[in-house]
Chain A
């Protein structure tokens, strides 16, 4: 019940396309859902986060869609660029600074 399942494991998208990464969770006590972006040789960096009182949050080209009843949330990257090529992790927790439960990660490659 503590798991966060992330898919796909890897994703190749053409430049300008939409990249979509999905996550599912079981624990209904989770109330904070961040996405992290990791470039090679760097630590993960917070990209965008959402709480379950809203169904969508948008920051620039990045959007989180949240479906509380289905216990799923997804990251959409619009107009994907080669610079977006990275590994993306979803996570979940109770509160913003409690222990995060991590998805397994998605390696995203944007083809020029």
Chain B
């Protein structure tokens, strides 16, 4: 089993749709969680950190479910510009290492 797993997609949605991605992690000692966005042939860009209480940034909402060991990203009112690959990353407080999921590809169509 991979340490961090994501559905590769692609998720193909119309503009204005709401879409959600999940990311499961295997190590229950994991303490830090992030979502990154990566455009084709570009670097990953930090989208948001994921906190225990959940957090929202505009159209984006991230949540953590420790009991089931997954994090989620919800995108409301999808824009064409949201088309990208979304990577989750998981870390532990004992190490500087982040483990990345393989990414979920999102395509938003007109």
Same complex for A and B? Answer: no
Q: Report which B residues bind A (CB closer than 8 A).
A: none
Q: Report which A residues bind B (CB closer than 8 A).
A: none
